[in-house]
Amino acid sequence: MKQPKNWYRLDNAAKIYPAVRTRKWSGNFRLSLNFNEKVEPELLQQALDDVRKRIVNLNLELKPGLFWYFFEETDRPVPIQPERQSPCGRIGGVDNKEMPYRVTYYNNRFAIELFHALADGTGGLIFLKSIAARYIELRYGEKIPEFQDIILCDSEYSPEEMEDAFKRYAKFRTLKSRSELKGYHFKGTVLPSDQTSVITGIIPFAKLHEKSKEYNVTATEFIVSVMIKAFMECQEKSKIRVEKPVKVSVPVNLRKLYPSKTLRNFALYINPGIEPRYGEFTFEEITEEVHHFMRMNNKEKYLNAIMCKNLSDEFNPIIRVIPLFIKNIALFTAFKMYGETLVSSTFSNLGKVDLPPEMARHIERVEFMLGRFMAGMPSAAAASYNGNLYINWTSGFAEKDVEKGFFTSLIKMGIPVKIESNLI
Amino acid sequence: MKKMSYCVNCGVELDKSLKQCPLCATPVINPNDVIIEEAVTTYPVEHMEKIVKKLRLISANLVTAIFLTALILCPLCNFVINDTLTWSKYVIPSIIFAWCCAVPPIIIRQNGLLKCVLIDLTAAFFYLAAMNMLTTPNVNWFASICVPVLLYLCGSFILLYTLSVKKISVMYIISIGFVLSGIFCMMTEYFVRKFKLMEIEFVWSVPVLISCVGVAWVLIIISRLSKISAVRKRLHI
């Protein structure tokens, strides 16, 4: 008799992504890794196939139910693909018969591009490192030891990897309102929705760290402040009549607050920003605002209340019984009204990527990149490895005013920046 | 070994593969780079033009195949049924003319409009000559009417195209187009009457010419007005 396939409910954060996909766009992100030598596609395919036998997430396909989407286990092959000039393009065919992720390669680099419904950045990084570990084993014959969160092919599966951590840790003491003012949006010439411009800035982390210490803030807070400054300059130049708040959404990894080992979504957002209507802010004042806002809101109790508010919508009996196609329309409308409009941009920092020496000697760099926003607003993601911070700006606009403002501010502060791009 | 390049405008260091600064589009010129070498790009470069060119060739071949099928089948059917070529001899030049109109726009990209229209006019020239020979070999309406009309059309188009290339205002070009159309009508009437050995006078073409000149005049006034309003904007009290 045919075994029924395992299936999983989408976690709370994942529920929005399938509903807001369009024919050319889906909410994605990408993690990539550069080896010292050219990637061998056959071995990479072998490594992916081996890792898929161990990591359940990489065997899931998205399916629509009557009321919600769900993930179902599948043994559908996932052929690796050559990289495209516009990375992080829509994932899943128009008929949704593709897996919610893809693995690509180009020269020394291989990348995993994930549909956000499947995992968050931390989960994605574990997939990336696990595939890289298996690839190194196959390519160089080195045995990779157990190291932090890397999943080795012969390790034991823990059901915790697939848990919906939101549901597990929500306390339902109180719900925190999500009401916020709409943020400033950069305007420009919009590229077609399947095109993304990528500008990578390579920054010596020590210099950045030193500078952020001068302002008594963390590296993330410092970068967010520079981003806010760049957006504020663009808003001033645009001469709009009523200035809007400039806010940058910063994902917070909840695994640091709760001992979860989930490989699925487990992050929330806090949106530090500046309200220009109060007057002009110096850079010191921006860093102070960002620093205190982050410290104030990045607390377990507040984040739990936001988590509970999100879950309360999902648990609402009326919402639950609405058929999926109506839910999709409602979610798409809500996303258009509130999803991307509240903030000016996003900055996601994966932090320092640690690898065991057996892997580190073959790996030159690790990068993190967000897919473009549906409306095209420039957003940034960063990861640091081997003494460098790789910050990737992705945008759906032809104009590069924000990115230019950001990088030139760093240069003016004495932080050297090296630029790479897919815009030749 | 290629030296590091910096953007003179932004101050950022640029990857070797970049030909211009992605932030401000300032071209990269490194005087120390004597040997120009192609650096490995950070992302794969997709040559869309090649794919599009290939697609265009495929479409052109497909269209040609369709026309070719008609070109073979028509005389064949005609010959099988009537034992001689009757109606199909008119079809053959028509198919060739249609092919000349359909295929060049698919293939030609550079100065496409100019080339395609000139090809179309040339094809029309030969098509009409052939039809004249096939239908009424004794009456030479082709030389009397078609040749001057086609030459005029050809000259008018080249004039309008040259004006558009020289970035003359669109309104002016449209105005000239109207005037040329009016003259075209007069010319047609003249040659038709001459061919029919009628008295040379302009009956229907004069009102057309007057209307065309009127429209052209209004268009020129409109385009002037916009300039006047621009002046008024700057000088208003």
Helical axes B88-102 vs B112-135, angle rounded to 10°: 170
- CA–CA separation, A250 and A270 (whole Å): 5
Rounded to an integer, the average pLDDT of A133-150 is 91
The ipTM assigned to this model is 0.81
**β-sheet bridge partners, residue A33:** A110, A366
Please name the residues between 46 and 65 in chain B that touch chain A, using a CB distance below 8 Å. Answer: 46
- CA–CA separation, A30 and A371 (whole Å): 7
pLDDT at B64: 93
pLDDT at A338: 78
- Taking an 8 Å cut-off on Cβ atoms, the answer to whether B12 and A418 are in contact is yes
pLDDT at B237: 46
Rounded to an integer, the average pLDDT of A105-124 is 94
Residue type present at position A186: F
Task: Tell me the per-residue pLDDT of B39-93, one tens digit each, with 9 for 90 and over.
Answer: 778 888 776 666 777 888 888 999 999 999 999 999 899 889 888 888 888 899 9
CB A24 within 8 A of CB A192: yes
CB A227 within 8 A of CB A248: yes
- Taking an 8 Å cut-off on Cβ atoms, the answer to whether A419 and B45 are in contact is no
What is the distance in angstroms between the Cα of A109 and the nearest Cα belonging to chain B?
A: 10
The answer to whether A222 contacts chain B (CB < 8 Å) is no
- The CATH homologous superfamily for domain A7-163 is Chloramphenicol acetyltransferase-like domain (3.30.559.10)
| Position B36 confidence tier, pLDDT thresholds 50, 70, 90 | low
Angle at A64 between CA A63 and CA A70, to 5 degrees: 60
| Position B139 confidence tier, pLDDT thresholds 50, 70, 90 | confident
Give strand ranges (E) for chain B: 5-6, 13-14
Phi-psi region of B5 (alpha: psi -120 to 50; beta: other; left: phi over 0): beta
Task: Tell me the per-residue pLDDT of A28-79, one tens digit each, with 9 for 90 and over.
Answer: 999 999 999 999 999 999 999 999 999 999 999 888 888 888 888 898 899 9
Phi-psi region of B197 (alpha: psi -120 to 50; beta: other; left: phi over 0): left
Q: Cβ contacts (< 8 Å) between B10 and chain A: which residues?
A: 404, 407-408, 411
Computed over every residue of chain B, the mean pLDDT equals 84
- Taking an 8 Å cut-off on Cβ atoms, the answer to whether B23 and A424 are in contact is no
What is the distance in angstroms between the Cα of B128 and the nearest Cα belonging to chain A?
A: 46
Strands A267-270 and A246-253: antiparallel
- CA–CA separation, A253 and A257 (whole Å): 8
Output the six-digit token pair for B20: 């211009």
Q: Cβ contacts (< 8 Å) between A199 and chain B: which residues?
A: 22-23
The one-character DSSP state at A74 is -
CB A120 within 8 A of CB A17: no
| Position A195 confidence tier, pLDDT thresholds 50, 70, 90 | confident
Output the six-digit token pair for B44: 């794969």
Closest CA to A306 of A135, A180, A134: A180
- CA–CA separation, B197 and B194 (whole Å): 5
Closest CA to A112 of A104, A100, A122: A104
pLDDT at B32: 64
Classify A81 as helix, strand or coil.
strand
Considering the domain A197-421 in this protein, what is its CATH number?
A: 3.30.559.30
The one-character DSSP state at B20 is B
Rounded to an integer, the average pLDDT of A342-361 is 94
- Taking an 8 Å cut-off on Cβ atoms, the answer to whether A106 and B43 are in contact is yes
- Taking an 8 Å cut-off on Cβ atoms, the answer to whether A421 and B13 are in contact is no
pLDDT at B35 exceeding the cut of 60 = no
Q: Cβ contacts (< 8 Å) between A201 and chain B: which residues?
A: 12
> Could you give the strand order of the β-sheet that contains A81-82, starting from the edge strand earlier in sequence?
A81-82, A101-106, A109-115, A28-35, A363-370
Residue with tokens 């994932």: A91
List Cβ neighbours of B44 (8 Å cut-off, separation of 6 or more): A82, A83, A84, A85, A106
Task: Tell me the per-residue pLDDT of B140-191, one tens digit each, with 9 for 90 and over.
Answer: 888 888 999 999 999 999 999 888 888 777 888 889 999 999 999 999 999 9
pLDDT at A1 exceeding the cut of 70 = no
Classify A10 as helix, strand or coil.
coil
Residue A241 CA: distances (Å) to CA of A228, A237, A245, A275, A280: 19, 11, 13, 14, 16
CB-count exposure of residue A370 (10 Å: 0-12, 13-18, 19+): buried
What is the distance in angstroms between the Cα of B111 and the nearest Cα belonging to chain A?
A: 26
- CA–CA separation, B19 and A424 (whole Å): 6
Strands A101-106 and A109-115: antiparallel
Q: pTM of the entire structure?
A: 0.71
Q: Cβ contacts (< 8 Å) between A107 and chain B: which residues?
A: 40
- CA–CA separation, A391 and A350 (whole Å): 10
Q: What is the torsional sign of CA B44, B49, B55, B61? A: negative
- CA–CA separation, A175 and A183 (whole Å): 23
- CA–CA separation, A69 and A19 (whole Å): 9
Query: CA nearest B7 in A: which residue?
Result: A419
pLDDT at A407: 95
**DSSP per-residue codes, A133-174:** HHHHHHHH-PPPPP-TT---TTSPP-GGGG--HHHHH---S-
pLDDT at A380 exceeding the cut of 50 = yes
Nearest to A422 among B14, B23, B43 (CB): B43
Give strand ranges (E) for A235-313: 246-253, 267-270, 273-274
pLDDT at B235 exceeding the cut of 70 = no
**C-alpha atoms less than 13 angstroms from C-alpha of B227 in its C-beta half-sphere:** 8
Q: Cβ contacts (< 8 Å) between B13 and chain A: which residues?
A: 416-419
Query: What residues does CATH 3.30.559.10 cover in chain A?
Result: 7-163
Computed over every residue of chain A, the mean pLDDT equals 90
CB A169 within 8 A of CB A307: yes
Query: CA nearest A422 in B: which residue?
Result: B43
Residue with tokens 């090649």: B50
Q: Cβ contacts (< 8 Å) between B40 and chain A: which residues?
A: 107
pLDDT at A348 exceeding the cut of 80 = yes
- Taking an 8 Å cut-off on Cβ atoms, the answer to whether A106 and B11 are in contact is no
Residue type present at position B74: C
Task: Tell me the per-residue pLDDT of B219-228, one tens digit each, with 9 for 90 and over.
Answer: 888 777 766 6
List Cβ neighbours of A123 (8 Å cut-off, separation of 6 or more): A57, A262, A263, A264, A265, A266
pLDDT at A41: 95
Task: Tell me the per-residue pLDDT of A365-376, one tens digit each, with 9 for 90 and over.
Answer: 999 999 998 888
- Taking an 8 Å cut-off on Cβ atoms, the answer to whether B23 and A419 are in contact is yes
pLDDT at B231: 55
The answer to whether B12 contacts chain A (CB < 8 Å) is yes
CB A112 within 8 A of CB A103: yes
CB A368 within 8 A of CB A390: yes
Best residue of A107, A394, A402, A420 to probe chain B, by most B CBs closer than 10 Å = A420
Give the residue, B113 or A408, on which the prediction is more confident.
Answer: A408
Residue type present at position B140: N
- Taking an 8 Å cut-off on Cβ atoms, the answer to whether B13 and A420 are in contact is no
Query: CA nearest A418 in B: which residue?
Result: B13
Query: What residues does CATH 3.30.559.30 cover in chain A?
Result: 197-421
Please name the residues between 77 and 106 in chain A that touch chain B, using a CB distance below 8 Å. Answer: 82-85, 87, 106
The one-character DSSP state at B41 is P
- Taking an 8 Å cut-off on Cβ atoms, the answer to whether B18 and A421 are in contact is yes
Task: Tell me the per-residue pLDDT of A206-256, one tens digit each, with 9 for 90 and over.
Answer: 999 999 999 999 999 999 999 999 999 999 888 777 889 999 999 999 999
Closest CA to A294 of A265, A271, A323: A271
Classify A351 as helix, strand or coil.
strand
- CA–CA separation, B202 and A114 (whole Å): 75
pLDDT at B48: 61
Classify A78 as helix, strand or coil.
coil
Rounded to an integer, the average pLDDT of B213-233 is 74
Query: CA nearest B14 in A: which residue?
Result: A419
